[in-house]
Every structure is written in structure tokens, then in C-alpha cells.
Amino acid sequence: MLYDLKAPILGFENITQVEFEKIDDMFSKISSLDGSFNMALVNPYMLREYSFSIPKYVELLLELDKDSQVEVYCVVVLQKELSDSMVNFLAPLIFNPSNKTAAQIALSIMDYPDFGFRDTLKSFATTELGA
């Protein structure tokens, strides 16, 4: 599924569209159309309690309203052992499936001190992860 990026992915400001592919209920991936990058994503709600406020400018960019069904994913830095892979909870990607738009937001650790940017999957271990 192709999504237009309305706010850039940190470090990939030149990418304006991504191909989104759901792997299962927990994992998904995005890739650039030219194949220059791929990112693994995880559904944070499958790992922990996760709640944050979407900034107003992102709501406007993605055309969100109170009835919008957004999807939220966090970037995973994959390691050889899946359970050692690291999740960035401070820079979630927000997807609006109804209009195929997406944006990454940067959350402040001051506002969300329980969120890390390199929490390992094994710290949320379940048998599904092989931990």
C-alpha cells in the first residue's frame, strides 16, 4: 500500500512516499519506492501501554478528525537475535489509511519519560518473540 509522507521520516527528509506492508499483527515494514531504504516497524500496542498526543499540525497534515482510524507504528532496529532488536517509542509513525497519508512525529522525553528510543523487544518479552 502506497502512502504519501506529509511530514518526513527523521534522516530521510527526501523520501516523500513509502510502500507499507503489514507482515502480521505485530510487525510491518516500509520501503522507499527506489529501494534506497527499508524500515521494520512494530505495533507498539502489542508491546506495552502506549499513549501520546498527536500534534495539531500533524492532525491537519493527515486530515485527521475525531472519527479517524489511525494506525501507529514504531521503528525497530533489527538485531541478529530478534529479542535484542531495539524499538524507538519516541518517534512514532502515524498512518491515515483512509487517505493514504503518513507522518513521523518526534516526542519529547520530557513529556514522555517512560518512552525510550532503544528499548529492546526482550524487555517486553513474550513467547512469540522467542524470549
Domain range spanning residue 22?
Answer: 2-122
Give yes or no for residue 15 having a pLDDT over 60.
Answer: yes
In this prediction, residue 5 carries a pLDDT of: 97
What's the structural domain count of the chain?
1
Q: Which residues does residue 20 pair with via DSSP β-bridges, in sequence order?
A: 30
Could you tell me if residue 127 is inside a domain?
A: no
Q: What is the pLDDT at residue 131?
A: 45
With respect to residue 109, please indicate whether it lies within any of the assigned structural domains.
yes
Q: Which one is predicted more confidently, 124 or 59?
A: 59
Q: 104: domain CATH number?
A: 2.30.290.10
Chain-centroid distance of CA 20 in Å reads 11
CB 104 within 8 Å of CB 117: no
Model confidence band, residue 126 (pLDDT cutoffs 50, 70, 90): low
SS3 at position 44: helix
CA distance 45 to 48: 5
Per the domain annotation, does 130 fall within a domain?
A: no
Q: Is 128 inside any structural domain? A: no
- C-alpha pair distances (Å), 17 with each of 21, 52, 83, 119: 13, 25, 30, 27
- pTM score, two decimals? 0.89
How far is C-alpha 73 from the chain's CA centre?
A: 3
What proportion of the chain, given as a percentage, has pLDDT over 70? 95
Mean pLDDT of 21-34: 94
Predicted local distance difference test score (pLDDT) of residue 107: 96
What is the DSSP pairing of strand 86-96 with strand 17-22? unpaired
Q: Mean pLDDT lowest for which of 34-38, 43-47, 57-61, 97-101?
A: 34-38
**3-class SS at 54?**
coil
**What does the pLDDT look like over 64-88, one tens digit per residue?**
998 999 999 999 988 888 778 899 9
Is position 94 within any domain? yes
* pLDDT value of position 97: 97
